[in-house]
Amino acid sequence: MSAWEELLAQAGHRVTEPRRLVMQLLLASETPLSPQTLFESARVQHHNLGLVTIYRTLELFESLGLVCRVHLKDGCHGYLAVSPGHHHFVICERCGGSVEFPGGDDLRALIADIEARTGYRIEEHLLQLLGLCPNCQGK
């Protein structure tokens, strides 16, 4: 039983075929996947899969911290599997390739600074970097 299946069960959720397929696809992907894309890919193996299930599964996974929703250039949403803990992504604007990185001291310092200057108590942050991966540079 894989780590995320363990976590699912621990939280009182069932390990089902659609959930296995969605997580499998996300874990294997280097790029963010949209609900639609996940649907089409997963349906190859699970003939009568419903798109609704994809949405529900992604919502569940996100609530458990297994995946993370990223905001693509055009305004659409994609999902990426995340390793345990808090991370952010750099996403290639050309090929979609994504790499995780931890929010380091720099970000913590920035947040502390903003809290001091605005009086806001900051509870969450959304940080995403967009650019070109090594492969796509110079093309």
Partner DNA sequence: CCCTTATTGATAGTTTTTTTCAATAAGAAG
Partner DNA sequence: CTTCTTATTGAAAAAAACTATCAATAAGGG
Rg (CA), the chain: 17
Which of 7, 24, 40, 46 is close enough to bind DNA by CB under 7 A? 46
Distance of alpha carbon 89 from alpha carbon 138, whole angstroms: 22
- Which residue bears the tokens 């969605």? 22
DSSP H stretches of helix in 46-104:
51-63
Q: Which of 103, 111, 132, 133 binds Mn ion (CB under 5 A)?
A: 103
Site string for a copy of itself, 75-114 (x = CB under 8 A): x-x------------x-xx-----x-x-xx-xx-xxx-xx
Q: Which of residues 118-137 bind Mn ion (CB under 5 A)?
A: none
26 binds DNA (CB under 7 A): no
Window 66-105: contact mask with Zn ion (x via CB under 5 A): --------------------------x-xx-x--------
Number of Cβ within 10 Å of residue 110's Cβ equals 14
**Mode of pairing for the β-strands spanning 67-71 and 88-92:** unpaired
